[in-house]
Amino acid sequence: MTLEISQTKKKILVVDDDPGMLRLISTMANPAQYNIVCVLGSEEAINLIGKEGVQQFHAIVLDYHMPVYNGLDLLAYIRARDPSISAIIMTAEHDVEVVTQALRFGACDFINKPFRFRQLLDAVDKAVQLTLEQRYLESMASEIHEIIDIHKRINATANLIEKKRYMDRYSVSLETIFYPIKVTGGDFAHCFPVSEDRLLLAVGDVSGHDITAGFISSYFRGIVRGMVTMGADVKTICRHFNEFLINEWNHPRHSGVITSIAVCFMMLDFREGVIRVVAQGFPHPWLANSDAEIVQLTEGREALGWFKDLDIQEMVYALPDNGTCLLWSDGLLDLAEDQQLCPFSLAHYLLSDVDTVQRQRILQKRKDDIVVMRITWSDESHSDKGEIQWSKCRPIYLGICNGGEVDRIDEIQASWKRCLVLMFSSLPADKLHEIILCIREAVLNAMLHGCCKDKKHECRVQIAFDAARKILMIRVDDEGCGYNQSEITAQADANDHVSLGLQIIRYYTDSISLNRNGAALTMTFDLAKELN
């Protein structure tokens, strides 16, 4: 880096206990270029610096051999006040130890007496240049920190929902986390209250993991906010920003890799009772509805900034009275895969308050920025305090397997066991054992009988946790048509595992309900005693 040195005179502090040397330097230096401040001895120098500071100087020249405080003592004193100042040590000593120490104390050059005056001037020129560069870098670093702080503030205020209740019925809560791999990054989760009855959520990922990505994410959100305020719909916003990226930001005249934004917009429309989703290159969001089902919403299409003819499709879903939506960036999926965890468990774990060594250990393994948003709403006009409200149950596991995977049941079991162990590390081993056994029985039943061991038929394991009431809710669904009661009785007589498995489940669970003739089984465990 070369900085253009301004025409103003540079101020040089020269400290020596030899008045003759000070006079010589003062006389020889070009008065048009340098303003030489000569100080006799280290004590006087300390007085001067104590009063006037170091920042006014562009370089310092110190004699090593001085009474009271030698040149190195003085150097340490000065650099403690301003590490950016460059210093030259002059000495008649030919001691390697002095040179080594001088360098360690931050001297940038070292001149042996006697020296040629040109040699000193060259050293001073270099020292001035170095000081200017160092101060420029420090000022840049300080500005970058300010920008990062602003970005963090934007992220922190992005999710403050002004209205917690919509249409006087829906109680809404929103939680987000953002773990960049560097000081900041391009992932974001932002909430835009649109009107009395609509809430727009945007979760996205700007390509790159640096301050530029963070800047673009803030800029994008500013554009979205402005356009939403002016009444634009999400598709128009996507088109507008896609054009901006292609025609301006990623214009061929700019060198480097193109910038893109993967984003998912989700509009909760409480009046119309719908969720509108537009996903552009972003992992699909998930909705946990009041039937204890976790469903995948729209697949992500092309990211913004890739192609001019952007394919945008808005998908519309019915808004359940009570529900939870989860949106996460691919950084979470990568980390979940690396840790062999279900992303639901990992998202829930990271959203929770736990601050443990284990959490840090897991986060250290991330290779990408991670952003997660969880929004929960509940129609309080329908709420029954006696019932478990799925909306207040956090989905923590979703596993899908098929009937042809019966022989893999141990491996599949290990996946829900890992998640339960992560979520409930304080749960007694026996209780965990019972829960795992019940899930196993339900899944085996679904694979063997519901799916008839056929790989074309799927079964789903969905686990949710009501953190307030400490109730674990597990739902196992298969694509079969269930059983009739006489079948179950006959099997019970034959000691068939369907019946025995059901008996085990009934024995260990706090409640069990069978729907679709047993093709959908929901069981609960009250863990209040164990977790309190």
- Provide, rounded to whole angstroms, the least separation between the CB of residue 477 and other proteins: 20
Q: Which is nearer to other proteins, 259 or 499 (CB)?
A: 499
Q: Which is nearer to other proteins, 128 or 444 (CB)?
A: 444
- Provide, rounded to whole angstroms, the least separation between the CB of residue 413 and other proteins: 9
Task: Order the strands of the 322-328 sheet from edge to edge.
Answer: 165-166, 170-179, 370-379, 322-328, 286-288, 294-296
- Provide, rounded to whole angstroms, the least separation between the CB of residue 419 and other proteins: 17
Please give the Cα distance from 185 to 211 (Å, whole number): 6
Helix (H, G, I), strand (E, B) or coil at 187: strand
* Sole residue written with tokens 């089984």: 521
Q: Which is nearer to other proteins, 205 or 441 (CB)?
A: 441
CB-based contacts of 358, cutoff 8 Å, min separation 6: 425
Q: Which is nearer to other proteins, 268 or 438 (CB)?
A: 438
What token pair was written down for 150? 């602003």
* C-alpha to C-alpha distances, 283 to 4, 37, 107, 158, 263, nearest whole angstrom: 48, 64, 54, 20, 9
Please give the Cα distance from 64 to 62 (Å, whole number): 6
Q: Which is nearer to other proteins, 323 or 501 (CB)?
A: 501
Q: Under a CB-based contact definition with an 8 Å cutoff, are residues 423 and 465 in contact? A: yes
Q: Which is nearer to other proteins, 247 or 503 (CB)?
A: 503
- Provide, rounded to whole angstroms, the least separation between the CB of residue 453 and other proteins: 12
- Provide, rounded to whole angstroms, the least separation between the CB of residue 425 and other proteins: 18
CA neighbours within 13 Å on the CB side: how many for 300? 22
* C-alpha to C-alpha distances, 106 to 70, 74, 75, 95, 522, nearest whole angstrom: 15, 12, 8, 17, 70
Please give the Cα distance from 76 to 105 (Å, whole number): 6
Q: Which is nearer to other proteins, 495 or 532 (CB)?
A: 495
- Provide, rounded to whole angstroms, the least separation between the CB of residue 411 and other proteins: 9
**Interface residues toward other proteins, by CB under 8 A:** 406-407, 409-410, 429-430, 433-434, 436-437, 440-441, 444, 495, 497, 500-501, 503-504, 507
- Provide, rounded to whole angstroms, the least separation between the CB of residue 456 and other proteins: 21
